Structure 1
Amino acid sequence: MGTDRATELKVLRPEEWDGWWDGLIRAFGDGPVTAEERELDRSVTEFDRSLAAWDGDTVVGTAGAFSFRMTVPGGTQVPTAGVTMVSVAATHRRRGVLTSMMRRQLDDVRALGEPLAVLTASEPAIYGRFGYNSAAFQVHAEIDTSRVTLAVPAGTEDVRLRYAKPADVLDACEAVYAALVPRRPGMLDRLPGWEQVALVDPESGRDGASALQCVLAERDGRVTGYARFRTKLGWGPSGHDGTVKLEALEALDPATDAALWRFLCDIDLMSTLSVRGRPVDDTWQYLVSDIRRCVPRLRDSAYVRLVDVGKALAARSYQVPVDVVFEVEDTFCPWNAGRWRLTGDAKGAACERTSDAAELSLSVRELAACYLGGVSLLSLAAAGRVRELRPGALTEASVAFGSPVVPWLPHGF
């Protein structure tokens, strides 16, 4: 479809935010949004990293980024562009608006020296052509707490739980979260103001459930975990049939973790614990008596893009020593294309341009998929996405790229 005049791409100005945001909301088909939600979205917007595509005086495309730091294998927090608020008006599809925004955005990310970009995709098929790939997954479940029991570890009884207003214990909860960030690839340092996002609690978004509740866990006089949740009362032919809807749970040790899960499974009048967006290796799966009664479902989560292959591969560590030459294809960011020698181990790594013979051939999308350690190079090769040019190189690199902890993106943006 053509257009009789080109769109103009500009950095968003504060006074243009309302129209920009209204266009975004329309593109996503969202219903009414409260004034509190709107103001919070405005407060976390990074205007100098937000783009607007204009057709005359109308916003027809939006894209933004947050200046995150994301944990990579080895525990380092790497500067990462959190790509967000991407939309194109239905009137301007198939005119190159999205491509122009992605082009400008990745150029800007590179100029800022951020080696990575990450996003959550409302439509995953869109972002592959821009070099993104799914690198972390998440689990949803409906735990039948009327039939499932939990086997908890020693020390669980030493954990004290108490109700608290979510806002009153926000700092304590954030301290727990911050302590966990270096432990798992894919986790994000909270930017200032982001701690408030979890507290937004409009009645219109509760779907009949209670206001947000919080339980704090303490051991030996210090806070070691928390759970935020809602309850939704229900009644069936056999009596109570309520649902606990988990919003967040973080714990610093196994006993605290088990105490929180046991509490959520034991709330009076509730027979289901609904969990969303949890790590693939989440501990409840190893505590429950019957996993089939929990109906776990796998979903894609973090989509990663290596903006600078050399810097990105050098920023993480590797499970075992690795020395391999990649032949990388990257049509959208051609500065990444060519041969790279990666050398590294558990202590660190280097990745430099080389003229040596390639040992593995793949696109930047495959590197993105395996970057956080949650997807195996061997699996990608089995799907025909990676080509081994030196016998043995594939297995060596695949083991090195793994992570002892499954990657997880803790929240959307």
Structure 2
Amino acid sequence: MTTDESITIRTATDDDWNAVALLDAHAFGEHQNAEDLAETQILTNSEHFYLAWDGETPVGVAMHFPMSVTVPGGAQLDASGVSWVSVAPTHRRRGILRSMFTQQHRALHDAGAPLSLLTASEATIYGRFGYGPVTEEVSISLDRRFARFRPEVAPTTGVRLIETAEAPGLLPDIYHRWQQQTAGAQPKPPIRWERFFADRENRRGGLTALFFMVHPDGYVAYRRGRNPNRVVVQEFIAITDEAYSSLWQVLVGVDLADTIEVQQSLDEALPFLLTDYRLPKVTAHHDTLWARIMHVEAALEARTYALDTSLVLAVRDPFLDAGGTYSLTVTDGRATCTKVESEPDIELDIDVLASIYFGTHRARLFAAASRLTARNEESLHALDQTFGTDRPAVMGWGF
């Protein structure tokens, strides 16, 4: 495949890893060290990299690797993790990204995984390729010196501080149990656990090595910082409300720190555990996981739904032409989905379908933004309620 007379797209070979590393370094401002590059080679192989070349010069890269993700209801759905996407600054706006993505996503479609996932460095890039944001996070800063827990909050139980050497034997099992019940979360590959526990200096951001506290149903991994004195949470995993409350109470008790910094999903209970629910300050709001639905029937039949209903969805996909008109019938929370030739109740682009699929974003908001059209109010209400979930989706790990 070519983008113009000089640019050629091909899959990589084992001899191309230096070219891949060079493009990645310029795109994301960090040179890959030998350990990081070796870990990536374990997650994938050179044939899953698509490289753009201008003669003998590498000018673009996109890769993917197999993974799975929890969808609403707890099913583990096959997916492709797209990553390391970049175009050299010398070759912008020449159609290189679209050409790489076209070749890559045709292969992903043929491979059969119902979903493709990525994390986006910029919010304006991937909608044109059918990706929509499916998880959201807020960054929280909490002044622990003024944190007091409400009298109704149960006392702390089950939390203990552990040595770094003990963490590899405890955290992966807790994460696995959490991931299995959390929509949007992916299993963490063994090589990523190895990177996490290796805790190399270049991953610390000028902070200390990791500290760990563990509950039977949760854990917190955090670092300490000086000037200002703070606790910076790297991972906060809680399977139960009791674990969440207990871990927070212990975390707030960490001495010689003024603030606690943490990233969490939109509906965490922390403000309502405290006597002053304004104390946790939101310092940033950002998307995390993005998804594209590669096979509509398989994806829609995999999750569970909040309301039994019958709707006809017209799904537009200008990138891969994977859309169509589908009859979605939900009975006892489970769906059957088939292609039909009927007048639709709902019309939407495939990126919008991805965004409402995981339950974080509501159909009604897309309708208000003129990105979703409903035949009538009853159809919109049914879609909005049917795809709704008890809690928004949460991404497991960044890739």
- For normalisation by structure 1, the TM-score amounts to 0.90
Structure 1 runs of 4+ off > 6 angstroms? Answer: none
Alignment of 1:320 with 2:307, yes or no, is: yes
Amino acid at match of 1:268: D
Helix, strand or coil for the counterpart of 2:147?
Answer: coil
Partner of 1:238: none
Matches within 5 A, 1:14-413: 14-30=14-30, 32-151=31-150, 156-165=155-164, 167-217=165-215, 223-234=216-227, 242-276=229-263, 278-296=264-282, 297-336=284-323, 338-413=324-399
CA contact (8 A) 1:201 1:212 kept: yes
What is the rounded CA distance, in whole Å, between the counterparts of 1:251 and 1:405 in structure 2?
A: 14
Q: Report the CA distance between 1:108 and its aligned residue.
A: 1.2
Helix, strand or coil for the counterpart of 1:168?
Answer: helix
C-alpha distance 144-37 of structure 1, shift in aligned 2 (>3 A): same
Q: Report the CA distance between 1:279 and its aligned residue.
A: 1.7
Q: Report the CA distance between 1:4 and its aligned residue.
A: 7.5
Q: Report the CA distance between 1:6 and its aligned residue.
A: 2.6
C-alpha distance 289-47 of structure 1, shift in aligned 2 (>3 A): farther
Aligned length: 397
What is the rounded CA distance, in whole Å, between the counterparts of 1:364 and 1:152 in structure 2?
A: 47
- Listed one character per residue, the Cα deviations across residues 63-86 of structure 1 (whole Å, up to 9, x for unaligned) are 111211111111101111111000
- Listed one character per residue, the Cα deviations across residues 131-153 of structure 1 (whole Å, up to 9, x for unaligned) are 11112111111111111223386
What is the rounded CA distance, in whole Å, between the counterparts of 2:29 and 2:168 in structure 1?
A: 32
Amino acid at match of 1:370: I
What is the rounded CA distance, in whole Å, between the counterparts of 2:32 and 2:377 in structure 1?
A: 56
Amino acid at match of 1:37: D
Partner of 1:12: 12
C-alpha distance 362-207 of structure 1, shift in aligned 2 (>3 A): closer
Amino acid at match of 1:60: V
What is the rounded CA distance, in whole Å, between the counterparts of 2:267 and 2:3 in structure 1?
A: 49
- Listed one character per residue, the Cα deviations across residues 48-73 of structure 1 (whole Å, up to 9, x for unaligned) are 32211122222211111121111111
C-alpha distance 158-201 of structure 1, shift in aligned 2 (>3 A): closer
C-alpha distance 73-39 of structure 1, shift in aligned 2 (>3 A): same
What is the rounded CA distance, in whole Å, between the counterparts of 1:4 and 1:158 in structure 2?
A: 64
What is the rounded CA distance, in whole Å, between the counterparts of 2:307 and 2:104 in structure 1?
A: 35
What is the rounded CA distance, in whole Å, between the counterparts of 1:149 and 1:143 in structure 2?
A: 11
Partner of 1:237: none
What is the rounded CA distance, in whole Å, between the counterparts of 1:159 and 1:120 in structure 2?
A: 35
C-alpha distance 257-3 of structure 1, shift in aligned 2 (>3 A): closer
Helix, strand or coil for the counterpart of 1:270?
Answer: coil
Helix, strand or coil for the counterpart of 2:279?
Answer: helix
Q: Report the CA distance between 1:186 and its aligned residue.
A: 0.4
What is the rounded CA distance, in whole Å, between the counterparts of 2:82 and 2:271 in structure 1?
A: 31
- Listed one character per residue, the Cα deviations across residues 79-103 of structure 1 (whole Å, up to 9, x for unaligned) are 1111100000111111111001111
Amino acid at match of 1:107: R
Q: Report the CA distance between 1:10 and its aligned residue.
A: 1.9
What is the rounded CA distance, in whole Å, between the counterparts of 1:169 and 1:153 in structure 2?
A: 31
- Listed one character per residue, the Cα deviations across residues 312-363 of structure 1 (whole Å, up to 9, x for unaligned) are 1121111110210011211111131x31111124542111111122111111
Unaligned runs of 5+ in 1: 218-222, 235-240
CA contact (8 A) 1:159 1:255 kept: no
Bigger mean CA deviation after superposition, 367-376 or 326-335: 326-335
Unaligned runs of 5+ in 2: none
Q: Report the CA distance between 1:286 and its aligned residue.
A: 2.7
CA contact (8 A) 2:59 2:91 kept: yes
What is the rounded CA distance, in whole Å, between the counterparts of 1:124 and 1:4 in structure 2?
A: 27
